[in-house]
Structure 1
Amino acid sequence: MASLFGHGIVGFTIAKVIDDKNLKWLVLAAVCSAILPDFDVIAFKLGFAYEHPLGHRGFTHSILFAVLWALLLMLTIGKKNKLIWFLVICLSMISHGVFDAMTSGGKGVGFFIPFNNKRFFFQFRDILVSPLGVENFISSRGVAVLFSEFKYIFLPCFLVLGIRFLVCKLKNMYYNEI
């Protein structure tokens, strides 16, 4: 998996790009939703094998789970901007599986669970897989993962956020002149 940091910055970026009203609760929900799929690691403690539909990178990484979670948050929290809430939350969650499918380890991502239990990787797999557990992350391997994520996740997110900032500035300047 990419680390919680990598997943979180992607959720933040998606929220900032799609939401022009700058809803702070939406940004928080997007960051948390981008991280949420990795709570499936408790499946190991519950005795589920990695390959099980409820195992790591299983149902919580699926497109169906992202849609269901986005619907739940849209209906409970995002009452005024339903479509924006749905898009941001759904894309933030789907991004989690997408980035996990680009990592150098694991057994693939179950994008289509429960309809198909097959696990997938993408051709591009240069993002170093993060070690499980805080104690394993605080190591030279964890530092290598952060450098890998900086290159493949953080820099592109900063670029997108910078472009968004410039577009908003130019838009504001244009409307202030009129």
Structure 2
Amino acid sequence: MSHAAVPLAGALILGRSRLSWPVIATGLVFAMLPDADVVGFRFDIDYADSWGHRGATHSLIFAAVAALFAAAVLRPDRYIVAAVFLFIAMASHGLLDMLTNGGLGAALFWPFDDGRYFAPFTPIAVSPIGISNFISMRGIKVLSSEAIWIWIPLTLIAAAGLGIRKRRL
């Protein structure tokens, strides 16, 4: 759920004058959508496969295509702003996953490169797959890690951005 913090912060910074509710809602969904690839486990798609967990759906190309498609469907007044917002919302998922300390990394550059990558600094505790595994001491450690490395910094960034935006009005 912490992936939604990125578009939430972006929506607070940009404001309703630049983003419509449908665009904001789509951004929140897009931020979490790449993890829908876990359905592949049920179909025997290997984790390390291009379409496995943290594969193609975590790539920048996937985020760009999805953002352009959604912006075309939503037809917002500010098309470019909406498309960039949606791209950042979805692309941030793979980028945040690169900051985790487990898994195989994210296929950020798929289809040009099937490699999985981590950032040089991986401070975020990797989340267990599945709700039942999350409700545990490990889940609590993940939540505290995400609070420190995602929620607190984005709250400060959103507050600063909101303050700057209010000052300009």
Instruction: Give the TM bin, normalised by the shorter chain.
Output: over 0.9
2:3 paired with 1:7: yes
Structure 2 distance, partners of 1:163, 1:146, is: 24
Give 1:16 shift.
Answer: 2.9
Q: Which residue pairs with 2:72 in the alignment?
A: 75
Q: Which residue pairs with 1:113 in the alignment?
A: 110
Q: Which residue pairs with 1:58 in the alignment?
A: 55
CA contact (8 A) 2:12 2:162 kept: no
Q: 1:102-141 counterparts in 2 under 5 A? A: 102-141=99-138
Moved over 6 A (4+): none
Structure 2 distance, partners of 1:19, 1:43, is: 36
Give 1:90 shift.
Answer: 0.4
What is the total number of aligned residue pairs between the two structures? 168
Amino acid at match of 2:167: L
The higher radius of gyration belongs to: 1
Query: Structure 1 residues 158-167 or 35-44, which shifts more?
Result: 158-167
Q: Which residue pairs with 2:150 in the alignment?
A: 153
2:55 paired with 1:45: no
2:89 paired with 1:92: yes
* 5+ residue gaps, structure 1: 173-178
Instruction: Find the residue that maps to 1:94 and give its secondary structure.
Output: helix
Structure 2 distance, partners of 1:31, 1:144, is: 24
Give 1:13 shift.
Answer: 1.2
Q: 1:29-44 counterparts in 2 under 5 A? A: 29-44=26-41
Amino acid at match of 1:107: L
So what's the TM-score if we normalise by structure 2? 0.94
Amino acid at match of 2:10: I
Q: Which residue pairs with 1:23 in the alignment?
A: 20
CA contact (8 A) 2:10 2:158 kept: no
CA contact (8 A) 2:13 2:158 kept: yes
* 5+ residue gaps, structure 2: none
